[in-house]
Chains A and B, each alone.
Chain A
Amino acid sequence: MSDRLTETVEQFALVPDTDRLYLLLDYAEQLPPLPDRLSAAREAGLGRVHECQSPVFLYAEVEGETVHLFADVPREAPTVRGLVGLLVETYEGATPEEVAALPEDLLYRLGIAKQLGMRRQQGFAGVLHRLKTSVAEAAR
């Protein structure tokens, strides 16, 4: 895990089980709007995470060794918006290697897998997969 993810995991661990999921609402709130230069791609349907039932769009750019992440997720889907917001905030400025090393069992490490329930956990896998592949492609 990257240092920032380790920090995030530690922050989640400080919050009691029953309240931990609500931490995602802050991330949902803080997700920056998509920059204008990406709105054409968004309109064309590029960057959509098809595994998500809600319209989730994720973009990665790599400048030298630095990853920049952008996303658009509806406010009516705060859980996935929060999860995407967490990834964007934690991995903005990371290296492509750090993104590639993102643990697949992140929801367990954050301690929110049980609170999400079995069926919601696996939908998140699509977001992670998209993040990793788009960073890998942009780094090429």
Chain B
Amino acid sequence: MADYAHPEVLVSTDWVARHLGDTDTIRVIESNEDVLLYATGHLHNAVHIDWQTDLQDDLVRDYIGAQEFARLCSEHGIRNDTTVVFYGDKSNWWACYAFWVFKLFGHKDCRIMDGGRAKWSAEGRVLTPDVPAYPSTNYEAQEPGGDIRAFHAEVVRHMERGGALVDVRSPQEYIGEVTHMPGYPQEGALRGGHIPGAVNVPWSRAAREDGTFKSREMLEEIYLQEQGLTPKGDTVAYCRIGERSSHTWFVLRYLLGFKNVKNYDGSWTEWGNLVGAPIERGEPEAE
């Protein structure tokens, strides 16, 4: 892990196992696709934050506000200087998503447990159904910041000036053969294809079989040499709803040290359905 641009944000299952008792300074947070998985057993002393019912506000199709975020953190005994460590199912998709949302509200010390829940279980480590309770804190949340989140208008300008766009969906979704990912019909779009100029790097290429991140060398091979992305340039990542792309955002920002990379969470469910938004279909054009 030491080779990564910001190695401190990635911690091992060993590290977490050693720090499970340090609840005064560290809070371990499980974030899953499955809303009941935490209840069946989780890391000792870990709390549960759900990407959908805790972090999103359906009424405005946006994230919760700073006040609600502060309340959520306070309820879980998280202070502004607490080290929060995220882990979850599905190769840490939702852990990365929650990490990104915490960064949006300006939380300083966020980390990911490499390999997530699957690695922890595979190593035969203990899971418990006991839900911990922590004394409430007075968390102060910032208004969500814009430097890691791209809105539609900004993506349009970015596209027009030929900025780097990374589409992290499956090749079938990128080419335009299907309008949703297998298994997620509810997150479809009326049109299939991608944002003009985007390259296609499915998010899973950054992960190993066991859910851990690939080495820096392997990641550079994919994103830098193969795709020609540059850590100094402005980059925007997107998928369908912004969760797979938060995984790639994490890889580019923290493991490869990209200076300015944003997650476009409106993603294809917004762009693909938007009146007047241009799209491309088929394979990327050869240069």
The chain A residues found within 8 Å of chain B, CB to CB, are 21-22, 24-25, 28, 50-54, 75-80, 82, 115-123, 126
Q: Is the CB of B183 within 8 A of A50?
A: yes
When chains A and B are docked, how far (Å) is the Cα of A80 from the Cα of B50?
Answer: 16
Q: Is the CB of A117 within 8 A of B53?
A: yes
Q: Is the CB of A117 within 8 A of B52?
A: yes
Q: Of A53, A75, A79, which one neighbours B183 at CB under 8 angstroms? A: A53
Q: Is the CB of B187 within 8 A of A51?
A: no
Question: Can you give 22 contacting A-B residue pairs, CB < 8 Å?
Answer: A24-B36, A25-B36, A25-B39, A25-B40, A28-B36, A50-B183, A53-B181, A76-B89, A77-B34, A79-B36, A79-B37, A80-B34, A115-B53, A117-B50, A117-B52, A117-B53, A118-B52, A119-B52, A119-B186, A120-B35, A122-B185, A123-B184
B82 close to chain A: CB less than 8 A: no
B58 close to chain A: CB less than 8 A: yes
- Consensus secondary structure, chain B interface: loop
Q: Of B35, B36, B37, B187, which one neighbours A117 at CB under 8 angstroms? A: B35
Q: Is the CB of A79 within 8 A of B34?
A: yes
Chain A residues contacting B56 (CB-CB under 8 Å) are 117
When chains A and B are docked, how far (Å) is the Cα of A50 from the Cα of B185?
Answer: 10
Q: Is the CB of B183 within 8 A of A78?
A: no
Kindly identify, within residues 33 to 48 of chain B, every residue whose CB is under 8 Å from any CB belonging to chain A.
33-37, 39-40
Q: Is the CB of B40 within 8 A of A22?
A: no
Q: How many residues of B contact A (CB 8 A)?
A: 21
When chains A and B are docked, how far (Å) is the Cα of A28 from the Cα of B39?
Answer: 12
Q: Is the CB of B186 within 8 A of A123?
A: yes
Q: Is the CB of B52 within 8 A of A53?
A: no
Q: Is the CB of B186 within 8 A of A79?
A: no
Q: Is the CB of B34 within 8 A of A50?
A: no
Min C-beta distance of B258 to chain A, whole Å:
29
Chain A residues contacting B187 (CB-CB under 8 Å) are 119
Kindly identify, within residues 182 to 222 of chain B, every residue whose CB is under 8 Å from any CB belonging to chain A.
182-187
Given A115-B53, A117-B52, A119-B52: A79 in contact with B35 (beta carbons within 8 A): yes
Chain B residues contacting A77 (CB-CB under 8 Å) are 34, 37
Q: Is the CB of B39 within 8 A of A22?
A: yes
Q: Is the CB of B58 within 8 A of A117?
A: yes
Min C-beta distance of B92 to chain A, whole Å:
14
Q: Is the CB of A52 within 8 A of B37?
A: no
When chains A and B are docked, how far (Å) is the Cα of A80 from the Cα of B33?
Answer: 11
Chain B residues contacting A25 (CB-CB under 8 Å) are 36, 39-40
Kindly identify, within residues 47 to 89 of chain B, every residue whose CB is under 8 Å from any CB belonging to chain A.
50, 52-53, 56, 58, 89
When chains A and B are docked, how far (Å) is the Cα of A16 from the Cα of B65?
Answer: 26
Chain A residues contacting B181 (CB-CB under 8 Å) are 53
When chains A and B are docked, how far (Å) is the Cα of A75 from the Cα of B127?
Answer: 14
